Each structure stands twice: as C-alpha cells, then as structure tokens.
C-alpha cells in the first residue's frame, strides 16, 4: 500500500522582492527550496513507511528542475518519485493544480492501493492552503487538515486517527482510509539524509509524467483550467504602526525607545 | 661473576621468544589499519626524532618532565649495560666490559654506575610524587605505574648488589670508578665472609636477570609499551601542524568516517600504543576541565582497548566483541564524548609523543553524521541552513551587506581591487561582529589598501560543518566557493574570522586552491610595522587581557601579531591569563560548538571568563568572532558585562585612528 507525499518546490520567499513599478515578483537570482511545510509532509510519509511498511511515494508538479527537490526526497528514504511536468500544467492556480495531482494519485492507485496522501498545510509562495483539500475533494478522500500528530493508522480496519491543531485547542478525530492529511510543522522533526542515500538519489531515475501520459483535458489544467486570474501583485500598504530604532544594529537603543513609547502610551502594567 | 650458562641460555631464549611473540601479537594488529604515508622526508623525520624523542623537548615543557628525561637517558645508557650483562652471561669468555681498553672500560663502568643511581633516584622521585603529592592525574596511582616503577627500582638495586658484592670480593677491577657500588659495598658488605659475598653476587645477578626479562615481558601488556613505540611515533609524526582533516571520496559503495577500529589508519592505531597515560592532554582539554565525560586520553585508550579486544575478530572477519562507538564500557567511545570536542587542538599540542587525539573524534563524527545521520538535535537547523543558505543562521544573502549601511564599500573586481576582504558569516550577519567588520574596513582604508567584497554572493567557508564531521556538505560548499573565487579571479584574501582563515589556508589547499590568505591581525600588525598604518594617539582601555584564538594560535602559531598590535595601541603589552599562547584555553565555540548547547558540567566560556576575571581586566581582547560571542556571553553569565568589555583587536586599533 502507498503513502503519497505531495511536495512543491517554491521560491525562497524571504528573498523575494516585488518590483514597485511593475508589481511583479523579482524572481531573478532567487533560489528555489522545498516548501518548508512539505518537508514535514515528506518526513511524516517516511515515518509511516518505517512504522507500517507503506511504500513512500513522492509526487510534485512543477518545472523540470523540480527534479532536484525530488532527489532530496529520495535521499531521505522515499521509495519512488513522480515528477508531473508539462507546459500544459504551467500557470495553474490551486484548482488546476489539485486536478493534476489528484489524477496522478488516481493513476498511482491503479497499480497499488493508496492508504494516505500527505500534504504540507500550505505553501509559502501562495499561502492558500487549498491544494490539499482540493485533492481530497477530487478523489473523494476523507480530508484531515492541520494535523500535528497521527496517532495511529489501522490498515486492516482501514482507519486513521489524528490530532488536529486548531486555534487554542486540539481536535482528535478518526477517519476511514484512504484519507488526505495536511500537516503542520510541529508534527515531526526532520531526519537527515546519509551520504550513501544522497549518492544513490543523485543517480536514481525520476519518473516523469507529462500530459501525454496523463491525458488530461487541457481546459481543466494549467492556466486555462484556473479559476483564479491574477490582476495585480502589490505590497500591502502599512496601515499603521512605525518602525522604532535600529534593532539589528543598536538593540539597546531600540529597546529603550520601545519601552519609552509603551510607558508613554500607558501600555505597561507593572 | 658468571652464572650457570645453560640455565641462563634457556631462560634467555624462553623470555626473548615470549617477548617476540607478545610483540608480534601486538604489532600485527597495527597492520589492520588503513594505509597512510608517513614514510616521506626521512631527514626531517630523523631530526624530529632527535629533538622530540631523544631531546625530549615536549616532555620538558612541564617542570616535572626533567625526572622523565633523567630516567629516559639513564635507560638509554643502561641499555648498553644490559646488553653487556646478557651477552656476558651467555658468552663470558668472549664478551665483557673488562676486555675493552682500560680507559674505556673504566669510563663505561663509571657512567653505568652513575646512570643506575640516577635511574633509581628518578624512580624514587616518581614513586614519592605518586604516593605523597596530590595525583597529577587520575591514572597516576594505577597498579601499572607502581609495578613498573618497582621493577625498575629493583633492577637498579640488583645492579648495585651485583657490583658491590664483586667489589667486596675484590674481583672488580673498575671498583675505583664505581663510587655508588663501592659505597654500597663499604656500607653493607665490608667484612662479610667470601662465601656469603659469592652467594650475594649470585643472588643479585639472578635477580637482575629475572627482573630485566620480566620487565621486558611486562612491557607489551602495559602502558609502558610506549618504551617501544614512543620513539617511532615521534619519527612518524605529522610534520605539519595538525589543522585539517583528510578529504573523503564520495562515490557509490564507499563508507565514510570511522565506525570500526580498523578504519583508522595504522598510524592512528600506533598512536594508541604510544600513549603513556601521562594525562597532559586531559589537563589541557577544556571539556575535561569543565567536568564533561570527554577526556582525550581516554579516547586514545579506548581505541587501543577496542583494537586489543576485537583484534582476532577483525582478522577472522567475525562479529565484533565490542563496538567502537557507544558500547558503554572501556574500549568504546560514547556518542556524548564524540560531540563534546571543540577541536581546540590543546591535546595534540601537549602530547609529548605527537599523538593526534581530536582528529580521531572527527573521524567518528563523520561516521555518525554521514552514515547514520545521528547528531545532537541542535545541529539539524545548522546543517539545513548551511546547505540551503550557506550560513549558520539561515539568513537571506541580502543580509550580508547590511553592515556596509553608511559606508562606501566596493565590490571585489579582479584587476581593480587587490584584496578580497572575506567578511565571513559572523562578520556579516552577527550584529556584534559587524562592528569588528566595520573597524577592519576603516583600518584598510586608512592604510590605503585596495580591497573589495563579494557582498551577497559570499558563501560560508564551511569550517563548522567540516569539524562536525559533515564532510559531504563541506565538500559541496568548498567546490562552490572555489568556483566563485576562480570566476572572480581572487588571489589575495583578508579574513576577519580565524575559522575562515584556517579553512581557506589549509582545508581548501586540499582542493588545489592556492590563495594568499591573511588574517586581519597579521595584516594590521604588518601595516603598523611598515608604517603604512599610522595611529593618531594611544588609547587607554584599562587592563587589557588577551585571549588567544585556537585557530590562529595553536593552528597557525599566530601569537605575537595581535599582542604587538595591542601594545602599539595601548602603550603596554596585554596582560596574560594563566593559560596563554600554545597553552591557551578554548572559548568553547570551535568545532561546531558555536551552534550547540553544553548540557554537562560547567560552561567552557564561563570557565574561560573566570580565568580572565582573575586578572582584573577592563577589556578582554579577542581576534575571533566566536571568541567574541562566547566571552561576551560568559561575562553576562558572571554579571560582569557592566565592568568588563570584549573588543576585537581591530576595534581597538580603530579607536586609535
């Protein structure tokens, strides 16, 4: 049985700036990283592999250089990877993305039963948190979002019990398999790849599925299949507040300034 | 005096055979280690052997070392005496001192007599020190020590016994030249009947013979194996300073680091045979000093014990009796110990016979990181950040130029700028060390140096990951840096951080990078000497205590440059702490410890600050950003940061511009 982790390679948004004139992202020279939430989805799938003997499969939709990220997944212990890459998939919003990912998972399940699909709770570039639930909807799987602990998977009984992290409380629920889980960063600590595994991953074959193989209706994928159209990208205006002092270089002065402000506004209760 | 020759021949043959067999068993295990070439530069090696083995230079660095020198040289001399003793016993008609020309005979008799006395005295001093003074180290009162010292004492007493009884019989022609033996004869044997004198001579002769042969056969099974191995160990020492690790080759099917004792090189194994358990490395080690389980002497001892325990299993390729890592008993090194080393190099610096202790710890770290992916949790983030962002904090590359804020700093351009000022991660990203960076920039400008920076393109040198055993990531980082340096046409480099300095100076040389690298303290000292940098006035910083960086000092012998600078700026030489120069005590930040918490014992940086505070400083002067952070933290811990400040050498100079 399979556990499928869906991962995405994203621009390192902490290094992305927006061109004030054109309102577009300056992508030049910005390195790509594995979405920090997806790292934990990958790790959780590997833990389920270790614990329940599931075969860990990693899929990612993206440009051909996504291969680099998939190799990192192999180095950490994934059994197989599938790269979903085709010009027709490009420009996709969350709807069109979940369409491709869902049909890839359906294809995988034709060869081997899928027990669980695991996604990161959201990506740091779009921050919508919609792709995971979108996949679940399209596949008709139970969806368990914001999970910070998988308590158990009962394969014979086709059940999974998880804990969801909600604002100020936890929710523990049981769901039937197959299910889709989106995970928070607290769910696990990452493992580190050994050198022999890294070297193996560097040489490993990455399965590529393009649309010729997938055969999806081009009207439902990529830019054409997207329900969202970007009209403008801009930095939000700072509505209120001010930056006090130079905390990075003169932390003591900045702290003093802040303290003064707080006292002045009578916001300190001693 | 001649014994029963047949009986003696039988004893000699048996004892020598047993000794030979023991040595064969011991030394055959050394050949299980990996290859390593230590057979080059014979002339230089012989010179080292003369200076360090026969000249005992490192032994003499401790006052008590003189006792060892006396014993050692007495032994060398008495080796001749004992050779004569054995050969004379076997072939009395052919070999005898008395067959030599009279002058030589008398001279040797005198020298042997005196050497025996010195050896006996040295042994008595060593015994008294162990019995009556606080033990210099924990193993000083071991059974092994007392057995060997007693054997030597008895051997010397027997020597005097033999010769005194011969003198008393009037059969020793050199009696006049053997004052000690003559004294013993006069004191204990005068007037004794001839019978008992002959009996005494026989008794002492056999006592001498048996103790000598017993001693010989005890050696291979005790720490006194060093009598056989220490001299060759000095010959085979690393000729350069120990300051880098060997490269690893990353191809499928290889293993990385050391998990099994035979993955060490033959020389590493030979090191373990050469340890006398003198404990000097333990005294020098900051981890041992602060009460952590790491003791470099025990690491070496564990390697030896593991080899002896597993020897036949390794040869027969059967399962090990004891793992090298994590076996929980003597002969096995715990993971905790492996992670406690700061790679400060104090152990290697101290060892009188050039054992390389801490590099073996890095070998084992390599196994844990590269083969097992096992390391302290603190390091997960560090390793990720280094790989993803090429700096320890995972900060964005754009942050690297923040320190330049209101300064006009040029990018490095080959042909237009002479030096690359390599800022380093701390110098560019840590708020405190940015001050040092800015000071260096001002100094370079004041001296009219042509320099530029890489700005956001600069990458981490990878020092920490290499010392932490993550050689794979280091290898990738090194390749990237070399590509960058080559593209940019960099040939001369100034570094702020001693760790960058050491990395580019030595680690990168293994990759064929031949840069002229200079640490800022060396450059500033040179600029001052050449009067290219002129100070406007002296600066009063109160009592200035200087703290040596391990990677500048012990790794590269840069001790005087920073001190001379401080002296020029303040008008007087800095105050030395009790541990300084090659004996300096680590700040606790090296070997990747900058990024790890200390969970056991006292904090190393606090221990160092306490040593500094003993000298009542107003300023502690450092030359490394790690030392800066560690010592500032130490001051806060001691609530002394309002009275004492830590300044980099460059900051001190900038105040005088």
pLDDT class of A133 with cuts at 50, 70, 90? very high
Is A28 a member of any domain?
A: yes
Looking at residue B464, its pLDDT comes to 97
Option in A14, A193, A248 nearest B396 (CB)? A14
pLDDT category at B288 given cuts 50, 70, 90 is very high
**A198 inside 8 A of chain B by CB:** yes
Residue A149's pLDDT is what? Answer: 97
- pLDDT value of residue A249: 79
Show Cβ contacts of residue B502 under 8 Å, excluding neighbours closer than 6 positions: B243, B244, B463, B551, B552, B555, B556
Between chains, do A196 and B252 touch, taking CB under 8 Å as contact? Answer: yes
Could you tell me the two tokens for B609?
């600050």
pLDDT of residue A54: 97
Report pLDDT for B286: 97
Query: CA-to-CA distance for B560 and B562, rounded, in angstroms?
Result: 6
With respect to residue A232, please indicate whether it lies within any of the assigned structural domains: no
Is residue B426 within 8 A of residue B625, CB to CB? The reply is yes
pLDDT, tens digit, 9 for 90 and up, residues B599-626: 999 999 999 999 999 999 999 999 999 9
A193 touches chain B (CB under 8 A): yes
Q: Are residues A255 and A151 in the same domain?
A: no
Angle formed at CA B147 by CA B143 and CA B153, multiple of 5 degrees: 145
Shortest Cα distance, chain A CAs vs residue B375, angstroms = 9
Calpha distance A86→B56 (Å, rounded): 73
CA distance B63 to B59: 9
Count of structural domains, chain A: 2
Using pLDDT thresholds of 50, 70 and 90, give the confidence band for residue B151.
very high
- A244 and A116 in a single domain? The answer is no
User: What is the chain B residue with the closest CA to A14?
Assistant: B396
Rg (CA), chain B: 30
Q: If DSSP codes are grouped into helix, strand and coil, which group holds residue B495?
A: strand
> Per-residue pLDDT for A235 more than 80?
no
Whether B375 contacts chain A with CB within 8 A: yes
Residues A12, A45, single domain; the answer is yes
In a domain, A22, yes or no: yes
pLDDT of B158 reads: 96
Question: pLDDT at position A126, please?
Answer: 83
C-beta atoms surrounding A252 within 10 Å:
9
A226: in domain: no
CA distance A37 to chain B (A): 14
How much is the ipTM here?
A: 0.89
Reduced to 3 states (helix: H, G, I; strand: E, B; else coil), residue B643 is coil
Q: Are B496 and B427 in contact (CB under 8 A)?
A: yes
With 70 as the cut, is the pLDDT of residue B2 above it?
no
Chain A residues with CB under 8 Å of B431 CB are 248-249, 251
DSSP state of B455: G
Q: How far apart are the first and last CA of chain B?
A: 83
Question: Residue B230 — φ and ψ, nearest 5°?
Answer: -65, -40
Contact at 8 Å (CB) between B174 and B106?
yes
Chain A residue with CA closest to B253: the answer is: A196
Q: Is B597 exposed, middle or buried (0-12, 13-18, 19+ CB in 10 A)?
A: exposed
- Residue found by looking up tokens 């590099």 in the block: B359
Q: Which residue of A has its CA nearest to B475?
A: A195
Q: Does A192 touch chain B (CB under 8 A)?
A: yes
Residue B1 clears pLDDT 60, i.e. is over it: no
pLDDT one-digit tens code per residue, B219-252: 999 988 999 999 999 999 999 888 999 999 999 9
Whether residue A46 lies within 8 A of chain B, CB to CB, comes out as: no
Average pLDDT, integer, range B24-53 = 95
Whether A249 has its CB under 8 Å from any CB of chain B: the answer is yes
pLDDT at position A269 over 90? no
Domains of chain B by start residue, with CATH:
5-232 (1.20.950), 261-371 (1.10.1060.10), 379-654 (no CATH)
Contacts of A248 (CB under 8 A, 6+ apart): B402, B431
Say how far apart CA A242 and CA B247 lie, in whole Å.
52
Report the relative pairing of strands B619-622 and B575-576 from DSSP bridges.
unpaired
Distant-in-sequence, close-in-space partners of A157: CB < 8 Å, separation ≥ 6: none
Q: What are A38's two structure tokens?
A: 């997806």
Q: Is residue B34 over pLDDT 90?
A: yes
Cis amide prior to B398 (ω within 30 degrees): no
Residue B494 scores a pLDDT above 80: yes
pLDDT at B321 exceeding the cut of 90? no
Using 50, 70 and 90 to split pLDDT, how confident is the model at B498?
A: very high
Window 138-177 of B, Cβ < 8 Å to A: none
Region B446-470: mean pLDDT is 97
Q: Nearest by CB to B397, which of A15, A190, A251? A: A15
- State the average pLDDT over residues A85-97: 93
B621 conformational bin, left if phi > 0, alpha if psi -120 to 50, beta if neither: beta
- Kindly state the average pLDDT of the residues A5-34: 78
C-alpha distance from residue A242 to each of A35, A69, A139, A235, A250 (Å)? 31, 39, 47, 16, 17
Is the same domain home to A216 and A251? no
Q: Using pLDDT thresholds of 50, 70 and 90, give the confidence band for residue A61.
A: very high
Mean pLDDT, residues B261-289 taken together: 95
Q: Which two tokens stand for residue A82?
A: 């599938």
pLDDT at A229: 82
Distance CA B208, CA B446 (A): 75
Do A192 and A249 fall into the same domain? no
CATH number at residue A196: 3.40.50.620
Rounded Cα gap, residues A153 and B350, in angstroms? 57
Over residues B84-94, the mean pLDDT reads 91
Strand-pairing partners, residue A60, are: A83
Determine how β-strand A2-6 pairs with β-strand A55-61.
parallel
Q: A12–B396: do the CB atoms touch at under 8 Å?
A: yes
Residue A265: inside a domain: yes
* One domain, residues A266 and A171: no
**Chain B CB within 8 Å of residue A36 CB:** no
Gap between the Cα atoms of A142 and A125, Å rounded? 26
Is residue A95 domain-shared with residue A122, that is, in the same domain?
yes
The predicted structure's pLDDT at residue A231? 81
Q: Establish, for the pair of chains A and B, how many residue pairs have beta carbons separated by less than 8 Å.
A: 45
User: Residue A227: inside a domain, yes or no?
Assistant: no
Residue B139 has what pLDDT?
Answer: 67
Based on the domain organization, do A173 and A61 belong to the same domain?
A: yes
pLDDT of amino acid A22? 64
pLDDT tens, position by position, A160-212: 999 999 988 999 999 999 999 999 999 999 899 999 999 999 999 999 999 99
pLDDT band with cut points at 50, 70 and 90 for residue A237: confident
- Residue range of the domain that includes A129: 2-220
The pLDDT-based confidence of A15 (bands split at 50, 70, 90) is confident
**If we measure between CA atoms, which residue out of B428, B410, B657 comes closest to residue B524?**
B657
A136 and A262 in a single domain? The answer is no
Contact assignment for A15 to B398 by CB distance below 8 Å: yes
Cα Dmax for chain A: 68
Q: Is residue B567 over pLDDT 70?
A: yes
CB of B372 less than 8 A from some CB of A: yes
Query: Read out DSSP for chain A?
Result: -EEEEE--EEE-GGG-EE-TTT--EE-TTPPEEE-HHHHHHHHHHHHHHHHH-PEEEEEEES-GGGHHHHHHHHHHT-SEEEEE--GGGTT--HHHHHHHHHHHHHHHHHHS-EEEEEEES--TTT----HHHHHHHHHT-EEEEEEEEEEEEETTTTEEEEEEEETTEEEEEEEESSEEEEE-GGG-PPP---HHHHHHHHHS--EEE-HHHH---GGGSTTTT-S-------PPP--S----S-TTT-HHHHHHHHHHHHHHTT----
Tokens for B493, please give them.
């480099």
Q: Which of B312-321, B331-340, B573-582 has the lowest mean pLDDT?
A: B312-321
Q: Round to whole Å and give the CA distance between B640 and B657.
A: 28
Closest alpha carbon within chain A to B404: A249
Q: Would you state the pLDDT for residue B138?
A: 60
Q: Is A225 domain-assigned? A: no
Give the per-residue pLDDT at A266. Answer: 81
Question: Mean pLDDT, chain B, as a whole number?
Answer: 94
Residue A140 has which token pair? Answer: 């008709």
What is the reported pLDDT for A23? 62
Alpha carbon distance B220, B104 (integer Å): 34
Q: Which string of DSSP letters, residue by residue, matches B348-394? A: HHH-TT----HHHHHHHHHIIIIIT----THHHHHHHHHHHHSSTT-
Average pLDDT value for residue range A109-121: 97
How many residues appear in chain B?
657
Q: Do B402 and A248 touch (CB under 8 A)?
A: yes
Do residue A246 and residue A166 come from a single domain? no
Give the model's confidence band at A232: pLDDT under 50 very low, under 70 low, under 90 confident, else very high: confident
pLDDT of B463 above 70: yes
Please say whether the beta carbons of A33 and A10 come within 8 A: yes
In the DSSP assignment, the letter for residue B417 is B
Q: Is B381 on the interface with A (CB under 8 A)?
A: no
Average pLDDT score over residue span B352-359: 97
Q: Are residues A160 and A248 in the same domain?
A: no
Contact yes or no for B431 and A251 at CB 8 A? yes
| B323–chain A Cβ distance below 8 A for any pair | no
Please give, rounded to a whole number of angstroms, the shortest distance from the CA of A16 to a CA of chain B. 10
How far apart are the CA of B145 and the nearest CA of chain A, in angstroms?
Answer: 44
User: What distance in Å separates residue A263's CA from the closest CA in chain B?
Assistant: 25
Structural domain contains residue A136? yes
Residue B634 · residue B589 · CB < 8 Å? no
Question: Which tokens belong to B114?
Answer: 């005196």
Q: Is the pLDDT of residue A270 over 70?
A: no
Percent of chain A with pLDDT over 70: 96
Write down the pLDDT at residue A239.
Answer: 74
Do the Cβ atoms of A200 and B252 come within 8 Å? yes
Same domain, A249 and A211: no
Residue B389: closest CA among B480, B321, B292, B266: B480
Beta-bridge partners for B422? B495
* pLDDT score, position B575: 97
Q: What is d(CA B272, CA B285) in angstroms, rounded to the nearest whole number? A: 18
Q: In chain A, whose CA is at the least distance from the CA of B368?
A: A194
Nearest to A193 among B254, B373, B405 (CB): B373
- The answer to whether residue B41 scores a pLDDT higher than 60 is yes
């Amino acid at each position: 049985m399979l556990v499928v982790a869906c991962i995405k390679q994203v621009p390192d948004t902490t290094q992305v700036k927006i061109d004030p004139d054109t309102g577009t992202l300056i992508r030049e020279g910005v390195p790509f990283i594995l979405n920090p939430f997806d790292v934990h989805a990958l790790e959780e799938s590997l833990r389920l592999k270790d614990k329940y003997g599931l075969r860990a499969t990693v899929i990612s939709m993206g440009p051909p250089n996504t291969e680099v990220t998939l190799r990192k997944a192999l180095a950490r212990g994934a059994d197989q990877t599938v790269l979903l890459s085709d010009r027709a998939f490009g420009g996709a919003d969350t709807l069109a993305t979940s369409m491709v990912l869902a049909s890839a998972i359906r294809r995988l399940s034709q060869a081997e039963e899928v027990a669980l699909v695991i996604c990161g709770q959201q990506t740091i570039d779009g921050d919508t948190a919609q792709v995971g639930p979108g996949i679940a909807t399209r596949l008709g799987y139970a969806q368990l979002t914001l999970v910070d602990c998988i308590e158990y998977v009962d394969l014979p009984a086709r059940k999974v019990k998880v804990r969801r992290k909600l604002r100020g409380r936890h929710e523990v629920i049981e769901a039937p398999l197959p299910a889709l889980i989106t995970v928070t960063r607290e769910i696990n600590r990452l493992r580190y790849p050994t050198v022999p595994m890294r070297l193996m991953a560097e040489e490993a074959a990455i399965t590529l599925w393009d649309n010729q193989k997938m055969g999806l209706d081009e009207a439902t994928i990529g830019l054409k299949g997207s329900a969202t159209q970007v009209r403008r990208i801009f930095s939000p205006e700072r509505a209120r507040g001010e930056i006090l002092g130079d905390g990075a270089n003169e932390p003591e002065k900045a702290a003093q300034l802040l303290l003064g402000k707080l006292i002045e506004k009578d916001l300190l209760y001693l | 005096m001649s014994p029963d020759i047949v009986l003696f021949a039988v004893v000699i043959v048996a004892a020598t055979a047993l000794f030979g067999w023991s040595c064969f068993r011991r030394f055959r295990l050394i050949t299980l280690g990996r290859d390593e070439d230590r057979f080059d530069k014979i002339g230089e090696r012989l010179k080292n052997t003369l200076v360090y083995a026969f000249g005992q230079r490192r032994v003499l660095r401790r006052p008590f070392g003189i006792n060892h020198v006396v014993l050692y040289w007495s032994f060398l001399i008495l080796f001749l005496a004992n050779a004569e003793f054995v050969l004379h016993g076997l072939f009395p008609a052919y070999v005898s001192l008395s067959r030599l020309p009279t002058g030589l005979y008398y001279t040797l008799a005198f020298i042997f007599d005196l050497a025996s006395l010195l050896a006996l005295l040295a042994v008595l001093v060593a015994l008294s020190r162990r019995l009556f003074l606080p033990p210099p180290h924990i193993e000083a009162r071991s059974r092994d020590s007392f057995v060997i010292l007693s054997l030597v004492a008895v051997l010397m007493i027997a020597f005097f016994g033999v010769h005194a009884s011969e003198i008393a019989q009037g059969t020793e022609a050199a009696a006049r030249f053997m004052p000690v033996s003559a004294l013993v004869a006069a004191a204990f044997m005068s007037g004794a009947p001839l019978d008992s004198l002959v009996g005494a001579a026989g008794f002492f002769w056999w006592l001498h013979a048996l103790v000598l042969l017993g001693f010989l056969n005890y050696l291979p099974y005790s720490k006194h194996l060093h009598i056989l191995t220490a001299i060759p160990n000095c010959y085979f020492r690393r000729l350069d300073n120990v300051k880098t690790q060997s490269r690893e080759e990353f191809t499928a099917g290889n293993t990385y680091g050391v998990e099994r004792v035979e993955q060490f090189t033959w020389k590493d194994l030979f090191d373990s045979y050469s340890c006398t358990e003198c404990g000097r490395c333990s005294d020098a080690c900051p981890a041992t000093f602060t009460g952590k389980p790491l003791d470099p002497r025990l690491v070496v001892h564990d390697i030896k014990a593991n080899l002896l325990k597993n020897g036949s299993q390794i040869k027969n390729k059967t399962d090990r009796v004891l793992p090298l890592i994590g076996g929980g008993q003597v002969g096995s090194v715990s993971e905790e110990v492996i992670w406690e080393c700061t790679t400060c190099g104090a152990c290697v610096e101290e060892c009188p016979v050039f054992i390389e202790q801490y590099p073996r710890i890095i070998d084992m770290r390599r196994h844990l990181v590269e083969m097992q992916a096992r390391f302290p949790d603190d390091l997960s983030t560090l390793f990720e950040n280094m790989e993803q962002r090429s700096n320890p904090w995972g900060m964005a590359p754009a942050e690297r130029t923040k320190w330049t804020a209101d300064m006009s700093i040029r990018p490095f351009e080959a042909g237009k700028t002479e030096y690359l000022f390599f800022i380093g991660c701390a110098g560019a990203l840590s708020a405190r060390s940015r001050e040092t960076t800015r000071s260096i920039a001002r100094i370079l400008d004041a001296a009219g140096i042509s320099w530029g920076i890489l700005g956001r393109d600069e990458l981490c040198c990878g020092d920490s990951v290499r010392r932490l055993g993550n050689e794979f990531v280091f290898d990738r980082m090194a390749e990237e840096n070399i590509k960058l340096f080559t593209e940019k046409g960099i040939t001369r480099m100034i570094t702020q951080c001693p760790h960058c300095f050491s990395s580019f100076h030595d680690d990168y040389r293994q990759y064929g990078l031949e840069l002229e690298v200079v640490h800022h303290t060396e450059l500033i000292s040179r600029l001052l000497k050449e009067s290219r940098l002129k100070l406007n006035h002296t600066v009063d910083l109160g009592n200035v205590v200087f703290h040596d960086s391990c990677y500048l000092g012990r790794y590269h012998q840069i001790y005087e440059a920073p001190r001379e600078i401080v002296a020029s700026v303040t008008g007087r030489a800095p105050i030395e702490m009790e541990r300084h120069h090659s004996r300096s005590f680590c700040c606790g930040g090296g070997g990747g410890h900058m990024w790890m918490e200390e969970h056991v014992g006292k904090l190393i940086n606090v221990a160092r600050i306490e040593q500094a505070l003993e000298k009542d400083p107003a300023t502690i002067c450092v030359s490394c950003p790690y030392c800066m952070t560690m010592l500032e933290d130490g001051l806060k811990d001691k609530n002394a940061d309002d009275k004492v400040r830590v300044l980099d050498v460059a900051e001190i100079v900038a105040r005088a511009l």
